[in-house]
Amino acid sequence: MSTITPASTSGTLLCFEDEQPIAQAAARAAGLTLAVIQRHRFPDGELRLRLPEALAPRVVIWRGLHQPNEKIVELLLAAPTARQLGARHLTLVAPYLAYMRQDIAFNPGEVVSQRVLGACLARLFDAVITVDPHLHRVTTLQEAVPVQDAVVLSGAPLLADFIASQRKDVLLIGPDEESRQWVAQAAARHGWTCGVCRKTRHGDRHVDIELPDLPGSPFAGRTVVLMDDMASSGHTVAQAARLLNAAGAASVDVAVTHALFAAGAVQLIRQAGVGQIWSTDCIPHASNAVSIVPVVADALRARQTRLASV
């Protein structure tokens, strides 16, 4: 049974029971009191939530938005109630931020979900902290989610440091052009050679990949790591891995920030000749190798200090 804790004078971190372990670690590191939101599902599927009876002026809600639809409803219910119970400044920590892919209408009549969800979150929260949001045609998170304070953290340096502890003389490859920002950041951190593949998408599970045009025979005998912000169906990563193995790579591993991994995705990637799969714990998964808790806690402590001085 979830418990409701008293309000903290330094700040409260609210979470749901399924994310309690990572939220507890972040609250402890950031000096916040953890409270678990009680959640009941009625037979018809509606939710009843219960928050602490009184809250500190500064409240953080931790809710990762993978498998997002019901979780967005939870935020719609919880955030206004938190303000009624005493929260004057409300921060959302969403390690994975959903609905960021659709940032323009590719066809007439399509909903631009990034814009819609971003505006919704901006009405609910004063600040949003997330990790490697899937932004490509906007340059800042604040353009997508127009809150007062939009904080972007990155899993790329965390994964790069972990890769460096596991592999030597790495060739870092992005499976498509959109991965360039994370691959370049990670490669620069350790002086690795890097490149990105060219992808043509024909559907959610049908893609064509071309390996990057690097000098010489760049893949033969190399220790290759494919890096991206997320892996979902696994088809892009798997196709890139097949080509790298065919080009003579000594090994191919995969590192991603967000382990979305739809059903069958990991098996597909393994069958393509991938050795290790590493991810951050933004999304709970068996591949989790790196924790985001320290960098999130740093961001929360920095915000607490700024707010306390106002």
* Tens of pLDDT, residues 143-174: 999 999 999 999 999 999 999 999 999 999 99
Residues 204 and 279 grouped into a single domain:
yes
Residues 126 and 251 grouped into a single domain:
no
Domain presence at residue 6:
no
Give strand ranges (E) for 42-116: 47-50, 58-62, 89-94
Domain that holds residue 165: 156-290
Domain presence at residue 3:
no
Residues 190 and 276 grouped into a single domain:
yes
Predicted local distance difference test score (pLDDT) of residue 113: 96
CATH code of the domain containing 241: 3.40.50.2020
Could you tell me if residue 264 is left (phi over 0), alpha (psi between -120 and 50 degrees) or otherwise beta?
Answer: left
Distance CA 179, CA 156 (A): 10
- What are the residue numbers of the active site? 199
Contact 199, 208 (CB under 8 A): yes
Nearest CA-CA partner of 4 in 34, 28, 24: 34
Q: How many domains does the chain have?
A: 2
Predicted local distance difference test score (pLDDT) of residue 4: 42
Residues 123 and 173 grouped into a single domain:
no
Residues 119 and 194 grouped into a single domain:
no
Residues 232 and 98 grouped into a single domain:
no
Sign, CA torsion 65/67/71/76: positive
Predicted local distance difference test score (pLDDT) of residue 206: 67
* pLDDT (tens digit per residue) in 227-279: 999 999 999 999 999 999 999 999 999 999 999 999 999 999 999 999 999 99
Residues 16 and 150 grouped into a single domain:
yes
pLDDT by 10s per residue, the chain, length 310: 344 444 444 799 999 999 999 999 999 999 999 999 999 999 999 999 999 999 999 999 999 999 999 999 999 999 999 999 999 999 999 999 999 988 889 899 999 999 999 999 999 999 999 999 998 888 899 999 999 999 999 999 999 999 999 999 999 999 999 899 999 999 999 999 999 998 876 555 567 889 998 877 799 999 999 999 999 999 999 999 999 999 999 999 999 999 999 999 999 999 999 999 999 999 999 999 999 999 999 999 998 877 776 5
